[in-house]
Amino acid sequence: MGVLDITAIQGFIKMCNDGWLQGWHERNGGNLTYRIRPEEVTELKPFFTYEKPWVNMGVRAQNMTGEYFIATGSGKFLRNVILEPQNNICIVEINEAGDSYRIVWGLEQGGKPTSEFPSHFMNHSVRAAATNGEYRVIYHAHTPSLIALTYILPLDARSFTRALWQSATECPVVFPGGVGVVPWMVPGGAEIALATSELMKKYDAAVWAHHGLFVSGPDFDITFGLMHTIEKAADIYVRILSCGQGIRQTITDENLKAIAREFGVTLNPEFID
Ligand code: 2HA
Ligand code: ZN
């Protein structure tokens, strides 16, 4: 029994590869983190070492003290995770102040967790608080069709949510709360982390203008499925516009309300007329 035999680690590796196969992770693009369940931490602890230094993150979250995360490595290629997990991902522990991490496993040839770790960490904090600890996964990908839409749609939650909801009938069921939009910002720091986590108080997904998408969820399947559903809807929207004829008919607000009734979901009322 080793670290790579633990179910959570296997799910993490599979998700990295699934994203690579979708074409969302050119070079070192995109990143993934998972907040490890206490029983999984117990299984993993025999493999941890505690020699690496604490590293301050520039952000702080009191409800994340003592948590452990699996994280992709900064500058690492998600396509390589399945080939050499021990060199491309790591497990980090959060300190008692909730402002620093240290690597306790992985990145055996050196490195640090994803450059977007501050964003992931703050998103974990707000999603865990909003869901009574249920949400454990934060995923960032460079989804091409959604990125394309950030050049032509107004950069607001209403415009994006409605365009996506109307692009495929299942969308309002998958993300009834809608999606938030972060304007263009420099990636990798505390500023974009705080802007994203503000939106994550309300939404499961936040678009990063001209960059990609952040999504959150309780497990790997639901979180990957959310990324996939949003990107597929964006792709359909791009195809519609590419036909060059405009939109003749669409899913109406009455249709959206009917879907919500039938599937027992509450659509964000800000985005329905
Ligand atoms: O990991 O995607 O946003 C590289 C990135 C930064
Ligand atoms: Zn990115």
Rg (CA), the chain: 19
Name residues whose C-beta falls within 8 Å of residue 216's C-beta, 6 or more positions apart in sequence.
123, 124, 127, 135, 137, 138, 139, 200, 204, 205, 223
| Encoded tokens for 217 | 């969820």
Q: Please state the φ and ψ torsions of residue 133, each to the nearest 5 degrees.
A: 85, 0
Residues 116-143 pLDDT 10s: 999 999 999 999 999 999 999 999 999 9
- Rounded mean pLDDT of 49-55? 98
pLDDT at residue 211, as a whole number: 98
Residue written as tokens 């986590």? 197
Q: Which of 31, 192, 208 to mutate to test the pocket of ligand 1 (most atoms within 8 A of CB)?
A: 31
Contact 206, 213 (CB under 8 A): yes
Quote the Cα angle for 6-54-5, to 5°.
Answer: 5
d(CA 228, CA 59): 29
d(CA 15, CA 269): 32
Residues 3-45 pLDDT 10s: 999 999 999 999 999 999 999 999 999 999 999 999 999 999 9
Selecting among 40, 51, 108, 116, the annotated active-site residue is 116
Contact 70, 13 (CB under 8 A): no
Nearest ligand (C-alpha, residue 114): 1
Q: Is 170 a catalytic residue?
A: no
Q: With cut-offs at 50, 70 and 90, classify the pLDDT of residue 1.
A: confident
d(CA 49, CA 62): 24
What separation in angstroms does the CA of 130 have from each of 67, 99, 192, 204, 267? Answer: 17, 20, 20, 10, 17
- Cα 151 versus chain centre, distance: 21
Kindly give the number of the ligand 1 atom that is closest to the alpha carbon of 75.
1
Share of the chain above pLDDT 70, in %: 100
Kindly give the number of the ligand 1 atom that is closest to the alpha carbon of 187.
3
What separation in angstroms does the CA of 147 have from each of 12, 47, 59, 153, 157? Answer: 24, 39, 27, 10, 14
Contact 214, 140 (CB under 8 A): yes
Write down the pTM of the prediction.
Answer: 0.97
- Rounded mean pLDDT of 253-267? 98
Contacts by 262-269, CB closer than 8 A, 24 or more apart: 263/173, 265/172, 265/173, 265/176, 266/176, 267/165, 267/172, 267/176, 267/178, 268/161, 268/176, 268/177, 268/178
Residue written as tokens 């659509």? 267
The Å distance, Cα 20 to ligand 1 centre, comes to 14
d(CA 72, CA 107): 9
Residues 162-213 pLDDT 10s: 999 999 999 999 999 999 999 999 999 889 999 999 999 999 999 999 999 9
Q: With cut-offs at 50, 70 and 90, classify the pLDDT of residue 96.
A: very high
Query: Is the minimum distance from the CB of 167 to ligand 1 under 6 angstroms?
Result: no
pLDDT at residue 189, as a whole number: 87
Mean pLDDT of the chain: 97
- Rounded mean pLDDT of 68-85? 98
pLDDT at residue 219, as a whole number: 98
